[in-house]
Amino acid sequence: MPGIILVLNAGSSSLKFAVYDTAAATGLAARYAGQVEGIGAAPHIIARDATGHPVFEQRWQQGEGPTNQVGALDAVMAWLHQVLDGREVAAIGHRVVHGGVHFHAPVRIDLHVMAELQALVPLAPLHQPHNLAGIAAAARHFRGVPQVACFDTAFHRTQPFFADTFGLPPEFHARGIRRYGFHGLSYEYIARQLAAEDPVLGAGRLVVAHLGNGASLCAIADGRAQGSTMGFTALDGVPMGTRSGQIDPGVVLHMIDTLGMSTAEVSRLLYNNSGLKGMSGVSQDVREIEAAGGEAAEWALGYFAYRVRREVAALAAGIGGIDALVFTAGIGEHAAGVRARICQGLGFLGIALDPARNTHHAAEISPAGAPVRVLVRHTDEERMIAEHSLEVLRG
């Protein structure tokens, strides 16, 4: 049924949204995209059209405006009802971080699905509650409109057992303690785009580095996930903006048993005060760290690049080689200096950079004829959600 697909991605202090038209002659067409930032503090909403031109913006003073996702959605809807001009909303697609063991694909949301997603909150405590709050808020605004949950974990369900399990007795894997992987919507989008661009490359061996405030890498062979750096939670793997990444579990036990830290204190440290922010003492923003300079900044950037470089090689080993390394997300797409740090020392895999191409953020930043292509691609999780929502809507 022709109409509008509304995409919502609710975070702890932000709400991203996008509007797609299913009736466009060229297929699913992007109309608007935007976000509400600073929810509960000094909210700011901005929306842009398909060309990137701002079409709506509103700011509130500290302590005013939306205080939660419901209020943020109210503000977005007040503007959307004007621009949609009576067009029917056919479906609402949501990013849901954790799908657990059972959700391997996007699913239409009902009370049973909501109950199962609520039970997964302990596995993604910083993300899942806000995703579910966005679903509940949308249901109040659009009674009877189909809602679709699209999972960050679903793409990784094709990974083999050895990439899925921990070195624990089998009953723990059966009870859901396994490597779920995250950023799956981003990886799926990149895999689909590369397959459309170049079917041979799309069927090849890829390592995709989704590097942003949250960061992970994924090995993909023949378009299917084969391994990821993130595991049971979105804390594992490479260091991130504020998250530590992989850490010896004995360190956590030591913090609790010897240093007397509570589990809440350890959780805040590992999730909110580590990674680039904690190591640099400056910020989680690579641009600010590079501008600040100094020993701590160098340690933070050097450690980040070292860990990513290790994971590129490890994931390539897991799939028997590498045909392309793909950088995406905020750092991956825009931080040429970080990309150079990561690729330095990967020559043994056939990976090299063309400095000029890298500096100018070209779509391909490896030298012509290099045995391994190094690519920079923009990811679009919102479009992936819209495509999935339309697929579910059409049965």
- Crossing angle for the helix pair 336-343 and 295-318, nearest 10 degrees? 60
Residue with tokens 């809602």: 147
What's the token pair of residue 72? 């943020």
Neighbouring CB atoms inside 10 A of 218's CB total 30
- Bridge partners, 34 (sequence order): 17, 47
Q: How far apart are CA 312 and CA 325, in angstroms?
A: 8
Residue with tokens 């299913």: 22
Q: How far apart are CA 81 and CA 78, in angstroms?
A: 6
Strand segments, DSSP code E, in 212-259 are: 215-221, 224-228
Q: Give the residue ranges of DSSP H helices in the chain.
A: 69-84, 111-119, 128-141, 161-164, 170-174, 184-197, 199-202, 249-257, 263-272, 275-280, 286-292, 295-318, 329-334, 336-343, 355-359, 381-393
Nearest in space to 283 (alpha carbons), one of 342, 225, 240: 240
Q: How do 324-328 and 373-376 pair as beta strands?
A: parallel
- Bridge partners, 19 (sequence order): 6, 32
In contact, 147 and 92? CB cutoff 8 Å: yes
* Active-site residue flag, 152: yes
**Looking at beta carbons, which pairs linking 291-297 to residues 24 or more positions away fall under 8 Å?**
none
Residues across the chain: 395
The residue from 21, 152, 236, 323 that is catalytic is: 152
Q: How far apart are CA 260 and CA 243, in angstroms?
A: 21
Q: How far apart are CA 253 and CA 266, in angstroms?
A: 10
Residue 217 in 3-state DSSP?
strand
- The alpha carbon of 253 is separated from its chain's Cα centroid by a whole number of angstroms, namely 29
Question: Would you give the DSSP letter of residue 349?
Answer: G
Active site residues: 152
